[in-house]
Structure 1
């Protein structure tokens, strides 16, 4: 079992020993640290935080601990209850709050939960701020409020309505074009909050929703990461229902995977590619993804005379580069769409609305749309680290070995060859070097990974 403390939040498995897992005492400690950090930085007493959770089994317990802790610090709490990550992000500035906490372990299995920490903009706190929160947690220098100064508690049940209306009001979302198509869509929400939010959105867009695993009870019917090997049921149901599209979201609804009308994966990498294609067709600008995302986004940007840049891996890094370059669209290859016209966070709901607008305006089936994009195949391999391996030295050697190619050292080492690429980076959560590759065929991508492993071993 595990407790992972990172600059972006705290995640761990429920139960077990304090400090080794996400126990009640750990929840109280880290929520206390975040609340006190906010008080120190805001330099005011009357703070308000937004809190929301996905549907996982431990959510209610963790929510009770977190909200009571914040009130104990004298911080007011607005509890959205069952929500999504992007909905909480939208509601923080909407309600003029001072920050937020999302209780979700995203695509991790049901035994996991986590605290994701937001600033007053509804964006993940920076790495520097995260380090300060962790330091406070370790010090346990907590001072709680007197009885007359406890925080107030209230609930809101209109957050989904507000979030969805903001999406419908976006100029690039053509509600009438989508309604005219009367799309039939199968939805797999892995029995979490996407089963509430996505049908509400699709109803407003005039779509018929066929629900699969949409009961928000936290009993995940399959591994909640929306990858091909976990999605056999929806692929079959799309064909059986003669549906136009399948939509898959993870438990906190910040990753979006699509299934075409033939029951085939559209490809998580291509969710962002398709949305960017639509947006850049209408407005030249900049597209951003991370270094481990598909080259297809760069190709699509170039066809629209737009620029493409890659950030280090991690949503915070993508957002920072998007702001720096004033990007039109950005995200990650795991199906994460970040549309700054709405907010700087991965958002499956706005991704669905933009994708359906694109599909309707192109007047194509989903498979026809996918066929219009360059096809790339990705490989993922790893090398176990041993004490004698100096990762920094090894990556420097690889950089020199391929100095005549296009090399980036923003995050590990990425080598761009003419027809493929490889990205080598140290894992943040395991003692391994991750090796990502992409090429024009799966065989080529896998061979490139094996060749890189052989080269690395020759340099150790």
Structure 2
């Protein structure tokens, strides 16, 4: 069982011992540190924080602990209850709040939960802010409010609808064309809040949703990471329903993957590629994704005379580089779409609307759309960390061994070979080393990943 404290937030497994898992005491401790950070930043009388959660079994318990800790600090809470990560992000700015907390462990299994922390812009914290909160949690500078200065909780269930309304008003979301296409789409909501938000969006666009695992019970029917090996039911239902395509989101709705009309994966990496292709057609400009994402985005960007840049892994890093390069679209190859015209956060809902607009305007089928992109294949593997594994020494050894190749070390070690690449890095959210590779065939990508796993194990044991 694990508790991971990082600038990305506080993530851990439910149950077990304090300080080693995400226990009620740990939830209160880090909520108090975050609330204190909010109060320290601005000298004002009234502080407000937006709180929402995915449908995890532990979500209600953690949410009550977090909200009432903020109340104890004199902070007013806007309670979105069951919501999505991008919806909470948008609510922070729409409420002119001082920050936000999303209670979700993203794609991790049901025993995990997390406090994902936002600033007043509805964006994830940078490294400096994250470190301030970790330091506050370990210090003794937290002071709670007196009885006459306690905060209050105000419930607001309107924000998913408001989020959808903002999407429908975007110039590149072609509502009329989507309605005329009369799409039928199978939705795998992995029994979380995507099962609420995605059908509402589709219905607003005149799309007929076929619901699969859309009851927000928190009992995930399959591994919630939207990878091919977890999506057999979705792929089969698309064919059985003769749907135009299928889609799946992760539990907090910031990752998005598609299945074509034949029940074949569109490719999680190609979610961003296709949406960027559509946006760049209408608004040429620069793009950003992280170092572990496909080269196909670079290819599409250069087709429209734009410039592509790669950031370190992590949404805050992508957003920072997008702002620096004035990117018109960006995100992460794991199915995360960041469309600045709406907000700077990964957002499956806007990704769905833009993808539907692209399909309605230009293509007869999802499989036809997929054929237009270069054929790159990725392998995503991992090595479980143990106390004896010196990750920094291993990555340094790999860097030295391949010093004659194109090396990037802003986030782990990425080695660019002429025809393929490998990226080795310690995860921010799980106790693992990630090994991502990309090549012209799946066999080569898998073989390259297996080769580096062997080399890492040899280095660790030498």
TM class, shorter-length: over 0.9
Indicate whether 1:115 and 2:115 are aligned. yes
Aligned counterpart, 1:295:
295
Taking the TM superposition and a 5 Å limit, the aligned residue runs for 1:195-210 are 195-210=195-210
Indicate whether 1:245 and 2:249 are aligned. no
Indicate whether 1:421 and 2:424 are aligned. no
Deviations 1:344-376 (A, max 9, x none): 111000000000011111132001101111111
CA contact (8 A) 1:286 1:306 kept: yes
Deviations 1:119-138 (A, max 9, x none): 00000111111111011111
Aligned counterpart, 1:38:
38
Change in Cα spacing, 1:169 to 1:32, as seen in structure 2 (3 Å) is same
Equivalent position SS for 2:216: coil
Aligned counterpart, 1:211:
211
Deviations 1:11-56 (A, max 9, x none): 1122222112111111111111100111111122310111111111
Whole-angstrom CA distance in 2 between matches of 1:372 and 1:217: 39
How far is the alpha carbon of 1:458 from its aligned partner? 7.1
How far is the alpha carbon of 1:64 from its aligned partner? 1.1
CA contact (8 A) 2:377 2:442 kept: yes
How far is the alpha carbon of 1:415 from its aligned partner? 1.9
Change in Cα spacing, 1:100 to 1:433, as seen in structure 2 (3 Å) is closer
Aligned counterpart, 2:351:
351
Indicate whether 1:25 and 2:38 are aligned. no
Residues 260-269 or 418-427, more deviating:
418-427
Aligned counterpart, 1:161:
161
How far is the alpha carbon of 1:391 from its aligned partner? 4.8
Indicate whether 1:100 and 2:100 are aligned. yes
Whole-angstrom CA distance in 1 between matches of 2:73 and 2:391: 43
Whole-angstrom CA distance in 2 between matches of 1:210 and 1:387: 46
How far is the alpha carbon of 1:447 from its aligned partner? 2.4
Change in Cα spacing, 1:455 to 1:25, as seen in structure 2 (3 Å) is closer
TM-score, L = length of structure 1:
0.95
CA contact (8 A) 1:54 1:251 kept: yes
Aligned counterpart, 2:10:
10
Whole-angstrom CA distance in 1 between matches of 2:105 and 2:50: 17
How far is the alpha carbon of 1:184 from its aligned partner? 0.2
How far is the alpha carbon of 1:396 from its aligned partner? 4.4
Deviations 1:388-440 (A, max 9, x none): 87654554454454444332222122122222111122344666543321101
Deviations 1:214-261 (A, max 9, x none): 111111111111111111111111001100010101111000011100
Aligned counterpart, 2:54:
54
Whole-angstrom CA distance in 2 between matches of 1:11 and 1:254: 17
- Please, which runs of 5 or more residues in structure 1 have no aligned partner? none
Whole-angstrom CA distance in 1 between matches of 2:192 and 2:352: 17
CA contact (8 A) 1:39 1:45 kept: no
Equivalent position SS for 2:243: coil
How far is the alpha carbon of 1:300 from its aligned partner? 1.2
Whole-angstrom CA distance in 2 between matches of 1:259 and 1:236: 10
Aligned counterpart, 1:312:
312
Change in Cα spacing, 1:103 to 1:386, as seen in structure 2 (3 Å) is closer
How far is the alpha carbon of 1:387 from its aligned partner? 8.0
Change in Cα spacing, 1:423 to 1:204, as seen in structure 2 (3 Å) is same
CA contact (8 A) 1:78 1:155 kept: yes
Taking the TM superposition and a 5 Å limit, the aligned residue runs for 1:217-232 are 217-232=217-232
Residues 82-91 or 8-17, more deviating:
8-17
- Please, which runs of 5 or more residues in structure 2 have no aligned partner? none
Equivalent position SS for 2:190: coil
Aligned counterpart, 2:174:
174
Whole-angstrom CA distance in 2 between matches of 1:15 and 1:387: 22
Change in Cα spacing, 1:353 to 1:382, as seen in structure 2 (3 Å) is closer
Equivalent position SS for 2:327: coil
TM-score, L = length of structure 2:
0.95
Residues 400-409 or 263-272, more deviating:
400-409
Whole-angstrom CA distance in 2 between matches of 1:319 and 1:264: 31
Whole-angstrom CA distance in 2 between matches of 1:150 and 1:455: 56
Aligned counterpart, 1:337:
337
CA contact (8 A) 2:4 2:430 kept: no
How far is the alpha carbon of 1:453 from its aligned partner? 4.8
Change in Cα spacing, 1:278 to 1:403, as seen in structure 2 (3 Å) is same
Deviations 1:120-176 (A, max 9, x none): 000011111111101111114321111111112211121011101111111111111
Whole-angstrom CA distance in 2 between matches of 1:46 and 1:367: 52
Aligned counterpart, 2:279:
279
Equivalent position SS for 1:322: helix
Equivalent position SS for 1:328: strand
Whole-angstrom CA distance in 1 between matches of 2:395 and 2:249: 35
Deviations 1:78-101 (A, max 9, x none): 101110000000010001001011
Aligned length: 460
Cα RMSD, aligned residues only: 1.9
Equivalent position SS for 1:16: coil
Equivalent position SS for 1:373: coil
How far is the alpha carbon of 1:305 from its aligned partner? 1.5
